Amino acid sequence: MSTAPSARYCPTRDLALDPLMSCKLCLGEFPQEHMTTISQCQCVFCSLCLKQYVEFLIKEGLETAISCPDSACPKHGHLLENEMEGMVAEESMQRYRRLQFEREVLLDPCRTWCPSSSCQAVCQLKEGEMELPQLVQCSVCRLEFCSACRDDWHKGHACQDNIFLPRVTSSFYNSDDDTPIKRCPKCKVYIERDKGCAQMMCKNCKRTFCWYCLESLEDDFLLIHYDEGPCRNKLGLSRASVIWHRTQVVGIFAGFGLLLLLASPFLLIASPFVLCCKCKCSKGDDDPLPT
């Protein structure tokens, strides 16, 4: 009695029928089931790379609309919210939605945040009085404040004439070390500090400033600001780390200076040849064409 030979699994045959696809991020090749296509632009990436890309942008708060990771994307596509929900954790999605809402409030001239750190509600402004400071009353904590300077309501006094004293309850202007949220001193975007040193850089306007006093640190490469004054020793780094940072900065500037010093003789020697070649080229352009 003869029996038909049983079918055997052949991985080589399956690979031939299922061609590999290339990921533009890691340059690896994967089967189609390991790839994810962005619906707006139809760009394809491996699922792991795209997941790590989305999680990084959400964690850093760099973008409220997650764009296609391909910088040369012809359609400049963005990932939809339902696409991100399938690749990142729920905690990341909650942070993404919160960042989106905060940006919407910041860009909406008819809404503002309650300055009380214990409330943090969104307050509505009167549309017909947007150009002038107006009284705003929080519907949650009933706090009354000025829409322009966000201080206590000062009826009959202009904001510039009103002495601005930061409220103890304000999480945006309070210099308390435990304050988790403040506003950028330049663009007024809300910034949350979870941990790390006191040298902050706004991701919106790129301003570098001190977290405690909000003073600019744009030209303070050596962080001398934390050697004296009210912010003395508040950088949040060890003395060894500060010394190492300053050594690196000084080393970079010294390296550029040394490189320029070593290259200067060669530049002086080469300059006559460069000028000679330039003169010959200019002279050659003025010569008439041969007949």
Residues 6+ apart with CB under 8 A from 68: 38, 40, 41, 43, 75, 76, 77, 78, 79
Q: Which of 174, 201, 229 is the last residue of a domain?
A: 174
pLDDT band at 286 (very low <50, low <70, confident <90, very high): low
Asked if residue 190 has pLDDT above 80, the reply is: no
Residue range 107-157, pLDDT digits in tens: 787 888 888 767 778 888 887 666 678 888 888 888 888 888 878 888 777
Residue with the two structure tokens 């969104």: 122
**Region label for 86, one of left (φ > 0), alpha (ψ between -120 and 50) or beta (otherwise):** alpha
CA distance 233 to 103: 34
* Catalytic residue list: 197
Q: Residue 27 maps to which CATH number?
A: 3.30.40.10
Residue 282: its pLDDT value, please? 55
Residue 1: its pLDDT value, please? 40
**241 in a structural domain:** yes
CA distance 100 to 80: 13
Cβ burial 228-249 (10 Å sphere, 16+ → b, else e): eeebeebbebeeeebeebeeee
Residue 166 and residue 183 share a domain: no
- Are 80 and 89 contacting, i.e. CB atoms less than 8 angstroms apart? no
Q: Average per-residue pLDDT in the chain?
A: 75
Residue 62: its pLDDT value, please? 60
Rounded mean pLDDT of 64-92? 87
Residue 164: its pLDDT value, please? 40
CA distance 92 to 77: 21
Amino acid, res. 40: Q
**Domain limits for position 193:** 179-245
Longest dimension (CA), the chain: 108
Asked if residue 6 has pLDDT above 50, the reply is: no
**258 in a structural domain:** no
Residue 15: its pLDDT value, please? 46
Residue 189 and residue 144 share a domain: no
CA distance 3 to 145: 90
Rounded mean pLDDT of 276-290? 55
Rounded mean pLDDT of 208-228? 85
Residue 168: its pLDDT value, please? 35
Asked if residue 74 has pLDDT above 90, the reply is: no
**2 in a structural domain:** no
CA distance 220 to 222: 6
Residue 134 and residue 167 share a domain: yes
Q: How many domains does the chain have?
A: 3
**33 in a structural domain:** yes
Q: What separation in angstroms does the CA of 6 have from each of 3, 9, 13, 258?
A: 9, 10, 16, 76
Residue range 221-279, pLDDT digits in tens: 888 888 887 888 888 777 677 777 777 777 787 777 777 777 777 767 766 666 666 56
In this prediction the pTM is 0.46
